[in-house]
Amino acid sequence: MRNVAFFGVLLGLMASCSSPSYEGTTIAFELAQTGKYSVQMRDDSGEFEVIDTLEILGNDVFTVKFDTARIVSFLPLEGELPVVHAVVSPESKSLIINREGLISGDPENNWLGAQRKMQLDLIAFTDSMDIIRGTYADSATFNGIAALNEAFLAYGDAYRQRILDTLTLHPEYLSNLLTVYHRNGQQPVLNYEIDRELLQNVYSKLNAKHPGSPDVITFAMWLAKYEEMLNFTRKVQEAAAKFQPGHPFPELTLETPQGQEMTIKKMSLKNNVVAIWASWCTGCRNELIATRNKGAKDNWIYLSIDGLPSQRSPLADWYNAIKTDELGGIHLSDLKGGRSAIISGLGIEGLPVYFKVENGIITQRLTSTEGLN
């Protein structure tokens, strides 16, 4: 057995104000694999900070010492090591990572181990469902497909409820913060809009127990981001219901591709079509090209939703699409992508959208040029 005093940066930062009776937390790695870990923690800005590296040779025992509870992440650098998260505090005396990579040793870390086991079991269950599904040559003619779907949904509901139960019974667990990363397929297990009150209570309890904790600060930042997203979504939904035929078209201040600011005033729209599109929306561009080929579109105003984080140069993408597709009319955008004033101001929930505006009043709102007068 290797018994290594893993203090380094950790002890240098934290030991000076720790209780004299606290000798540190031992973490025993019982992994069959060997390799090297990057040891990371959150800093005050919520970013991961690399604090050390650990070489795993077999039957390794390390000692970590903090004066407050912290989440420590062990991320593989070399070898086929599992990702491991641990809650280390003066209360956590001895922790064990077993051969399957599951941590245990106290209630906080037992919950982390349970979360990891849940994730692995969900992956295995999904894989088994996919194997069974693959044996059906024609899914439209077999009742078994419906049964598989029901089984998957039931499993997902139970998975979600297990997390909600712990968030409700033990909101003070720092290990609860890892639940925000759980996913069922492509969807997060926790839904901020539905679970908002519960998650806010978790933050309240954690902030009271661990004031100033970088981990709790990170959680607060996560909540703030989703609160902003929820408010934005509600604003979009309200605008979508509001800006329908019969309602005045709103005033929007945007910019041309050349950077000139321009305001769309409802009374300046005598007989116009306002098309909402983006350079990355292939369906939008194909339809606009087809419409262009049918005749001049000088009375068209094109509002672009370019500016997604995935776009390396949204202005260039937008400008090149206009030129390549030979679109006439007026082109405006704020290049803010999913946070564009076009989306929140007009209630855009999908692309494309076309508004027919006569004398400042919306007469049509369509998702296709078919039926556009």
Name the CATH code of domain 244-366 (choices 2.60.40.10, 3.40.50.1970, 3.40.30.10, 3.40.47.10): 3.40.30.10
Q: Which residues contact 21 (CB under 8 A, 6 or more apart)?
A: none
Of residues 116 and 147, more confidence is placed in 116
Query: CA angle 209-213-218, nearest 5°?
Result: 115
Q: pLDDT at position 113, please? A: 98
| Residue 188, burial from CB neighbour count under 10 angstroms (0-12, 13-18, 19+) | middle
In this structure, of 1-10, 74-83, 153-162, the range with the lowest mean pLDDT score is 1-10
Per-residue b/e over 297-321, b at no fewer than 16 CB within 10 Å?
beebbbbbbbbbeebeebbebbbeb
Integer CA distances (angstroms), 340 to 25, 237, 337, 345, in order: 49, 14, 5, 8
pLDDT band at 6 (very low <50, low <70, confident <90, very high): very low
Q: Which residues contact 150 (CB under 8 A, 6 or more apart)?
A: none
Delimit the domains of the chain by residue range.
2-104, 110-238, 244-366
Q: pLDDT at position 20, please? A: 52
Name the CATH code of domain 2-104 (choices 1.10.287, 1.20.1300, 2.60.40, 2.40.50): 2.60.40
For the cut 80, the answer to whether the pLDDT of residue 11 exceeds it is no
What average pLDDT does range 37-62 have in this prediction? 93
Instruction: Report the predicted TM-score, pTM, of the whole model to 2 decimal places.
Output: 0.80
For 13-35, write each residue's pLDDT tens digit.
333 334 456 788 999 999 999 99
Measured CA to CA, the distance from residue 105 to residue 97 in angstroms comes to 9
Q: pLDDT at position 124, please? A: 95
pLDDT band at 295 (very low <50, low <70, confident <90, very high): confident
Which of 92, 49, 48 is CA-nearest to residue 69? 92
Q: pLDDT at position 79, please? A: 96
Q: Which residues contact 274 (CB under 8 A, 6 or more apart)?
A: 249, 264, 300, 301, 303, 354, 355, 357
Look over the chain and give the mean of its residue pLDDT values, rounded to a whole number: 91
Q: pLDDT at position 275, please? A: 97
Q: pLDDT at position 27, please? A: 96
Measured CA to CA, the distance from residue 239 to residue 301 in angstroms comes to 19
Q: pLDDT at position 4, please? A: 46
Bond before 188 cis per omega within 30 degrees: no
Q: pLDDT at position 134, please? A: 84
For the cut 80, the answer to whether the pLDDT of residue 40 exceeds it is yes
Q: pLDDT at position 73, please? A: 96
For the cut 70, the answer to whether the pLDDT of residue 9 exceeds it is no
What average pLDDT does range 1-11 have in this prediction? 44
The 10 Å Cβ neighbour count of residue 32 is 10
Query: Element (H or E) spanning 127, and its range?
Result: helix 107-134
Measured CA to CA, the distance from residue 277 to residue 283 in angstroms comes to 9
For 77-133, write each residue's pLDDT tens digit.
999 999 999 999 998 999 999 999 999 999 999 999 999 999 999 999 999 998 988
For 311-352, write each residue's pLDDT tens digit.
999 999 999 999 999 999 999 999 999 999 999 999 999 999
Q: Which two tokens stand for residue 341?
A: 């004033």
Which of 115, 241, 227 is CA-nearest to residue 173? 115
For the cut 50, the answer to whether the pLDDT of residue 12 exceeds it is no
Measured CA to CA, the distance from residue 173 to residue 209 in angstroms comes to 9
> DSSP for 95-122?
EEE-TTS-EESSHHHHHHHHHHHHHHHH
Strand intervals (E) in the chain: 2-4, 25-29, 35-42, 48-56, 60-64, 70-78, 84-88, 94-97, 103-104, 183-184, 187-188, 252-255, 261-264, 271-277, 300-304, 330-333, 353-358, 361-366
For 220-248, write each residue's pLDDT tens digit.
999 999 999 999 999 999 999 999 999 99
Strand intervals (E) in 33-116: 35-42, 48-56, 60-64, 70-78, 84-88, 94-97, 103-104
pLDDT band at 294 (very low <50, low <70, confident <90, very high): confident
Query: Element (H or E) spanning 125, and its range?
Result: helix 107-134
2-104 and 244-366 share one fold = no
Q: Which residues contact 318 (CB under 8 A, 6 or more apart)?
A: 257, 278, 279, 304, 306, 331, 333, 335
What average pLDDT does range 50-62 have in this prediction? 93
Q: What percent of the chain has pLDDT over 90?
A: 80
Measured CA to CA, the distance from residue 285 to residue 294 in angstroms comes to 14
